[in-house]
Structure 1
Amino acid sequence: MYILQESLFSFEELQKLEFKERLPIFFSALDLRPYAKELRSHSPRGADGHCRQGILRALLAAPLENMDTFSGLHRRLDMDLRFRYQCGLRLDRKAPSIATLSRVFTELTNKGLAKRLFEDLVTRCKQEGIIDGSHVAMDSAAIHAYEKKQPKRKSELTGNANWGAKFDSFGNKVKWFGYKLHLAVDTASELPLALSVTPAHVNDGDLAPALMEQVAADAKVKFFVFDAGYDQLKNYEAARKLKAQAIIPMNLRNEKEPPAGITSNGTPCCSMGFAMTYWGVDGDHLKFRCPHATGKVDCPLGMAACSSSNYGMVLKVDTKSDLRRYSSPHRNTKRWQELYKERTSVERCNSRMKTYLTADAMHVWGIEKVITHQYLNAIVLLASALAMAQKYRKVAA
């Protein structure tokens, strides 16, 4: 089994290579023949004779080479013979037309082939040790639509692009017309495990349970990591159902006062009102000790008022009694903070797809085609990881 070095992300490594080397290495990880077979036209009319595998290669090369339109891809295939050859298309005839490229893209969409290829690549990455899958981070990203803007009510009827708003990392409210790309990412490799696309107005937390189930179907997930926007009971319950722990900061914006005798992060207080000391996990229970006994506070009554034991009073809290408030590991402990920091992996994955690929540069209409467009971008990241892993193996051999 070959395992990529920590913090070494293959997409950036692939981008550093010269163009003439980059595409052959990228395509070396992909066997597109099974998918291309399903794209062959069976119509006796208008057969264009273009290799469907070559067109599929070109559609995957487009986001890698930052081409976001069929006209731009056609122009590149027409003018750049090396590019056309590397895609596996013949040089003794004209490049595929814009209409042909668009038609094949529509076939990909109608037959769900992009999703199938994506899922097959995720499986391969797991088999080769590139993806671990035990820690998963989720988040959404704003995707702008190449569609005519409409009033929000009218957009909701179509199920396509709509108006959305969310707060950026600086606390500013950002509005846009389009979609949301919901990503589930392996925190170790920063590679996508599953994705979903919704109109922009859909709440992030509403999509999380289904995405969690999709990821956990093929991997044993220990932790799901989210930002505070996912702080909803149903997300904790969904993680618990999958035998995993949701790591989510509590959203205090609409938070009511915590129950009497408990701090806002779920730490019980002793009879003197001091927060007790977290002392580990015992099955489904969090263990807390007298803060005076652990040296955290200097209680005027000492330990005698609470317990006759030299160990001090011990309290065990069942995490199942309030899945949202109680977490294992306990909220705000060093371990919990370490796990939460892994959430940045999904931010970096989103950034790569939007900045270096074409996730936010769409020129297709309708949510089904938008989904295919996003899958093609995600496939580039997975194929890059597989391609570079093969390259490293050859160098090491």
Structure 2
Amino acid sequence: MTIIRQGSLFDIQELYNLEPTHRFEAIFSAIDIEPIFAVVTKKSRFGRPVELNYAAMIYSLVARLTERITFIKDLVKRLKNDMIFRLDCGFLVSDSVPSEAAYSRMVTIISESSILEEVNNALLQTAISEGFINDDTVAIDATHFEAKDQAPPKEEKPKTEPMKRGRKSKEEREQWLIEQAEREANLPLFEKKIEEQLDVPLEQLRTEVPQNPEWGVKKNSEGKNVFWYGYKAHLAVGTKSQYILQSLFSSGNLNDGKAAIPLLKGIHERVQLENLRYQTMDAGYDFEPIYEQIHRMGQQSVIAYNKRNEPEPEGVDKHFAPTCFREHSYRYDSFDPKYETLKFTRPKECKECPLANEGLCQKIYKVKITTDLRRYTAPARGSKTWKTIFKTRTAVERVNAYLKLYFQLNNVRYRTGKRAKVHFDLVTLVYNASKLAADRINALFSLQVAA
């Protein structure tokens, strides 16, 4: 019997209104902690003590996020003073409560592996197999969150020697070009141009992402620059299911567009949704290599166009649809996936136009999207279908708000980027687990109603 999920019946807010014991049970059951337990379990008779309940410690870190406990010391205090909470986390009455140092050691061990990402990917596969993820559109966006450490003073740039006026000689220019090429070749991957990422394997891309806290800047709603010191969370979210399908943690100064290709490759290689057709993003991702990566995946781009002081194109309107002699826009009709061709039909205004009767205006225009992947998208820019798909991009903004409101994304309490990434990975894992728990409750409720 097919389970029909009714998303409006029960959501994450209602999950958090449950009694803590029931909420913990629902969320814990969605996470397979065995791989994490295998990483953190003591394997030697030397070093830290062995009497700690590591499985319960992992569950307590999850509970810390759901209960919005700010500090590890507050978590330890809660475990000591609240017997029910301690039992909910899986500790036995005879177990000793771990110290702050024990939690710190465990986080350090986890930071040396990618185990949280692997567990999250396994959780997504479970949600797909149970029918809760069946999206045809993914939305990608980034959000910033601050490091709790005091930002270092900005370093003054060293003074450079004044450039010599006048044109360089041929020999000087050739030498300068060689030096520029060598300098660019030696740059870290994420400081190079975005197109350099296209042929780099996914694992290498994720390994080379900068993760130390840095100064970032973004324009607010008033058009003013807002600065912060910390990190960025880059998310790829299913617009219907609202699961985080891929995530990337980076320094705060990384350009949003430079995180898109790792996210796209991660979706293509790790998630593999059969019905996935569209990738939607705002104008900050309007770069040709991103369109190229989406095209290589056999999907379509729905990305807002960023003019960047480009000259006005001739013979087309602002959405790059062809225009007639009187500059009326042709109407988008359909897309032929076999030949990757957009079809436009004659404007309504041309029905009574004498130029059309004289054969001066074409009835139909066809354009291959590969002519310019950035300008010609399927569905065509400005069409109703394009606008409808682009509106679903708000799903990723909603998830960003959930992570900050319910899951303490802003509450990073670690000094190094590697340990801060553990916090980020745990936040995304707990969010997906909460989403899966809510979906399972919905499915059970639907079965009960049907019975």
Q: 1:189 aligns to what?
A: 241
Contact 2:322 2:330 in 1 (8 A): yes
Q: 1:319 aligns to what?
A: 369
The answer to which of 379-388 and 79-88 deviates more is 379-388
The answer to which of 197-206 and 39-48 deviates more is 39-48
Q: Which of 306, 310, 315 is the aligned partner of 1:251?
A: 306
Change (3 A) 1:143 1:3: farther
Give the aligned residue type for 1:5: Q
Q: Which of 72, 76, 79 is the aligned partner of 2:78?
A: 76
Kindly state the Cα deviation for residue 265 of structure 1 after the two structures are TM-superposed: 1.1
Task: Deviation per CA, 1:330-375: give whole Å up to 9, x if none.
Answer: 1111110110011000001111001111111110122222221111
Question: Structure 2 length as normaliser, TM-score?
Answer: 0.81
Contact 2:133 2:243 in 1 (8 A): yes
Q: C-alpha separation between the residues in 2 aligned to 1:152 and 1:4?
A: 52
Cα RMSD after superposing both structures: 2.3
Q: 1:18 aligns to what?
A: 19
Q: Which of 283, 286, 293 is the aligned partner of 1:231?
A: 286
1:161-240 to 2 correspondences below 5 Å: 161-169=213-221, 171-217=223-269, 218-220=271-273, 221-240=276-295
Change (3 A) 1:7 1:325: farther
Q: C-alpha separation between the residues in 2 aligned to 1:240 and 1:361?
A: 38
Q: 2:166 aligns to what?
A: none
Contact 2:42 2:50 in 1 (8 A): no
Contact 1:164 1:200 in 2 (8 A): yes
Q: C-alpha separation between the residues in 2 aligned to 1:324 and 1:90?
A: 59
Contact 1:2 1:130 in 2 (8 A): no
Number of corresponding residues: 389
Q: 2:184 aligns to what?
A: none
Change (3 A) 1:332 1:7: farther
Question: Structure 1 length as normaliser, TM-score?
Answer: 0.91
Q: Does 1:35 align with 2:88?
A: no
Give the aligned residue type for 2:341: H
> Gaps spanning 5+ residues in structure 2: where?
157-187, 192-209
Change (3 A) 1:272 1:389: closer
Q: 1:271 aligns to what?
A: 325
The answer to which of 23-32 and 183-192 deviates more is 23-32
Kindly state the Cα deviation for residue 387 of structure 1 after the two structures are TM-superposed: 2.1
Change (3 A) 1:392 1:325: closer
Change (3 A) 1:259 1:389: closer
Task: Deviation per CA, 1:268-312: give whole Å up to 9, x if none.
Answer: 112333222222223311112222xx34675353432425xxxx5
Change (3 A) 1:150 1:8: farther
Task: Deviation per CA, 1:42-64: give whole Å up to 9, x if none.
Answer: 23244141111100101111111
Contact 2:55 2:90 in 1 (8 A): yes
Query: Percent of aligned pairs with the same residue?
Result: 30
Q: 1:288 aligns to what?
A: 344
Q: Which of 368, 384, 387 is the aligned partner of 1:334?
A: 384
Kindly state the Cα deviation for residue 164 of structure 1 after the two structures are TM-superposed: 0.6
Kindly state the Cα deviation for residue 20 of structure 1 after the two structures are TM-superposed: 3.2
Give the aligned residue type for 1:245: Q
> Gaps spanning 5+ residues in structure 1: where?
none
Kindly state the Cα deviation for residue 386 of structure 1 after the two structures are TM-superposed: 2.3
Q: C-alpha separation between the residues in 2 aligned to 1:7 and 1:342?
A: 17
Q: C-alpha separation between the residues in 1 aligned to 2:154 and 2:264?
A: 29
Change (3 A) 1:152 1:183: farther
Q: 1:347 aligns to what?
A: 397
Q: Secondary structure at the match of 1:346?
A: helix
Contact 2:291 2:301 in 1 (8 A): yes
Task: Deviation per CA, 1:60-84: give whole Å up to 9, x if none.
Answer: 1111111232112112111111111
